[in-house]
């Protein structure tokens, strides 16, 4: 098969690395890709929001399957555009992609499908929203309705913080159109987990549980990022609870979309909070998480290309997913200053040394090759990922590998996964 992966982050390198292992692969293209994906296939400089360009690329290269990494091209309608050309795509159509593209849409769909989630209100007017938060109990959560690169969520501990978040989104428009509408909801207390299902429109294949770390600082402090690390499995969601949890948060959404003739094919990612009353959905994503994808694919023994092909053609029920028993941990190395201002172009050293451990893989996120050197090219630069005999061993192995890598301004959290083993 000729496969095109869309995206340029650590998730896309992990996908390319795993797809490259499939005996069914003939050619692998990545658009636009990064320094790591260039080692797995051919990078082609087409941006993820260039829908006509991506369709043209898939047609000209006679691509048999497109796998979409990030959410933006899905929300912009890439799957629909490809299907009009009879090019199979692993990712939902424009309607179902609103599960991630609009938090208000997702909340409405959850209500219709009777999926447990926090109580909420939706506002477009700043003063109406401000009046609402005056009378609410704290903490509460203010979310930009649209796509904000994982940064449009504020957990406000008091009225002042809620007011600032609302002013940023509805008045200052710091998130642009994504913040023209906001969702205000109660803050749920408990332990978080990520739960992903590979879906064929009717059936689904459950991946192991995972947990990610969004905040830039240790002990979950500082601003949100695209993700600073992740591990799998998450003890709060053990394998014996997978099916029960899926019946609450995965199956109802798939059934509802199928009944409305908008079947969901792709990755349905439920971000969960396990409260005293049970699991509640914080949000849905419609693609692999980044960096959750990295430890999940490290644990996957099955042929990912075979699985995705089955999902695209409606055969998920025939797949028996094989998962390694080891735990896996990913630690993100970022550029100093991320998620705000940072510099690029710093030479990266030590990856080969880190990968001398056969249970370690370094996935590239913000890297590029220039003049024979590998240099930084983004806020999140690398995702060092390790397998281990349990989480403690995986964490120790991962951080040993991290210490082998260096570049100017390198920053990483030193507490990924450690709260689980205390």
Q: Residue 140 sits in a domain of what CATH number?
A: 3.30.1490.20
**Given this model, what pLDDT does residue 108 score?**
96
- For 316, phi then psi, to 5°, come to -60, -30
**Given this model, what pLDDT does residue 422 score?**
63
* 57 part of a folded domain: yes
Residues 291 and 197 both lie in one domain: yes
Residues 344 and 265 both lie in one domain: no
DSSP 372-419: TEEEE-SSEEEEEEEEESSHHHHHHHHHHHHTT-B-TTEE--S-TTHH
Query: Alpha helices of 47-117 — where are they, by DSSP H?
Result: 51-60, 72-75, 78-83, 94-101, 103-113
Q: How many domains does the chain contain in total?
A: 4
How many helices (DSSP H) and strands (DSSP E) are in the chain? 15, 21
Cα–Cα dist 129/154, whole Å:
14
* 114 part of a folded domain: no
Residue at which a domain ends, from 59, 94, 129: 94
Residues 179 and 225 both lie in one domain: no
Residues 405 and 339 both lie in one domain: yes
Residue at which a domain ends, from 169, 186, 203: 186
**Given this model, what pLDDT does residue 420 score?**
87
Residues 286 and 336 both lie in one domain: no
Q: If you compute the radius of gyration of the chain from its CA atoms, what whole number of angstroms results?
A: 20
**Given this model, what pLDDT does residue 358 score?**
98
CA distances to 11, 134, 148, 176, 411 from 101, in Å: 19, 28, 9, 14, 30
Per-residue pLDDT tens digits for 256-281: 999 999 999 999 999 999 999 999 99
Q: Residue 348 sits in a domain of what CATH number?
A: 3.90.600.10
Residues 309 and 333 both lie in one domain: no
Cα–Cα dist 352/250, whole Å:
40
Residue at which a domain ends, from 297, 318, 339: 318
**Given this model, what pLDDT does residue 151 score?**
73
DSSP 17-34: HHHHT-TT-SEEEEEE--
Residues 313 and 212 both lie in one domain: yes
- What 8-state DSSP symbol labels residue 338? T
Closest by CA to 91, choosing from 115, 110, 56, 65, is 65
Residues 270 and 386 both lie in one domain: no
Name residue, tokens 């003063």. 127
Residues 249 and 280 both lie in one domain: yes
CA distances to 1, 139, 152, 362, 381 from 410, in Å: 38, 33, 25, 15, 9
Residue 198, beta-bridge partner list: 205, 267
- For 161, phi then psi, to 5°, come to -70, -35
Cα–Cα dist 145/127, whole Å:
17
Cα–Cα dist 78/80, whole Å:
6
Query: Alpha helices of 114-271 — where are they, by DSSP H?
Result: 126-134, 159-166, 242-249, 251-259
Closest by CA to 89, choosing from 200, 8, 11, 12, is 200
Asked if 262 and 253 count as a contact pair (C-beta separation under 8 A), the reply is no
Each residue's pLDDT, cut to its tens digit, for the chain (422 residues) gives 999 999 999 999 999 999 999 999 999 999 999 999 999 999 999 999 999 999 999 999 999 999 999 999 999 999 999 999 999 999 999 999 999 999 999 999 999 999 999 999 999 999 999 999 998 999 999 999 999 876 788 999 999 999 999 999 999 999 999 999 999 999 999 999 999 999 999 999 999 999 999 999 999 999 889 999 999 999 999 999 999 999 999 999 999 999 999 999 999 999 999 999 999 999 999 999 999 999 999 999 999 999 999 999 999 999 999 999 999 999 999 999 999 999 999 999 999 999 999 999 999 999 999 999 999 999 999 999 999 999 999 999 999 999 999 999 999 999 999 988 86
* 312 part of a folded domain: yes
Burial class for 171, CB neighbours closer than 10 Å (0-12, 13-18, 19+): exposed
**Given this model, what pLDDT does residue 216 score?**
95
Q: Residue 225 sits in a domain of what CATH number?
A: 3.30.470.20
Per-residue pLDDT tens digits for 101-144: 999 999 999 999 999 999 999 999 999 999 999 989 999 999 99
* 101 part of a folded domain: no
Q: Which domain holds residue 411?
A: 327-421
Cα–Cα dist 280/357, whole Å:
38
pTM above 0.85, yes or no: yes
């Amino acid at each position: 098969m000729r496969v095109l992966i869309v995206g340029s982050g650590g998730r896309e390198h992990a996908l390319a690395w795993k797809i490259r292992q499939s005996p069914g692969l003939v050619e692998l293209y990545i658009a636009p890709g990064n320094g790591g994906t260039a080692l797995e296939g051919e990078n082609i400089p087409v941006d993820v929001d260039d829908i006509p360009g991506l369709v043209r690329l898939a047609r000209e290269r006679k691509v048999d399957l497109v796998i979409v990494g990030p959410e933006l091209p899905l929300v912009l309608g890439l799957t629909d555009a490809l299907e009009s050309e009879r090019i199979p795509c692993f990712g939902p159509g424009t309607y179902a992609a609103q599960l991630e593209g609009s938090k208000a849409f997702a909340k409405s769909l959850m209500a219709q499908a009777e999926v447990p989630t926090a109580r909420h209100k939706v506002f477009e007017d700043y003063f109406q929203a401000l009046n609402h938060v005056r009378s609410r109990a704290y903490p509460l959560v203010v979310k930009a309705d649209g796509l904000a690169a994982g940064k449009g969520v504020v957990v406000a501990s008091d009225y002042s913080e809620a007011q600032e978040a609302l002013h940023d989104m509805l008045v200052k428009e710091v998130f642009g159109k994504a913040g023209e509408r906001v969702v205000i909801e109660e803050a749920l207390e408990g332990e978080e987990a990520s739960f992903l299902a590979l879906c064929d429109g009717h059936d689904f294949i459950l991946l192991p549980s995972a947990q990610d770390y969004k905040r830039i600082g240790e002990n979950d402090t500082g601003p949100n990022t695209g993700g600073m690390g992740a591990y799998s499995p998450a003890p709060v969601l053990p394998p014996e609870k997978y099916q029960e949890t899926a019946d609450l948060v995965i199956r109802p959404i798939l059934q509802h979309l199928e009944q409305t003739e908008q079947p969901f094919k792709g990755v349905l990612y439920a971000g969960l909070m396990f409260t005293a009353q049970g699991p509640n959905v914080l949000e849905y994503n419609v693609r692999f998480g980044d960096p959750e994808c990295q430890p999940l694919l490290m644990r996957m023994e099955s042929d990912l290309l075979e699985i995705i092909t089955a999902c695209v053609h409606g055969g998920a029920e025939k797949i028996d997913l094989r998962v390694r028993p080891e735990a896996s941990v990913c630690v993100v190395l970022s550029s100093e200053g991320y998620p705000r201002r940072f510099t690029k172009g710093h030479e990266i050293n030590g990856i080969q040394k880190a990968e001398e451990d056969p249970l370690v893989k370094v996935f590239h996120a913000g890297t590029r090759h220039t003049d024979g050197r590998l240099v930084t090219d983004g806020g999140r630069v690398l995702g060092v990922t390790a397998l281990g005999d349990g989480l403690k061993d995986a964490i120790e192995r991962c951080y040993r590998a991290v210490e082998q890598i260096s570049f100017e301004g390198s920053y990483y959290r030193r507490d990924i996964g450690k709260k689980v083993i205390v």
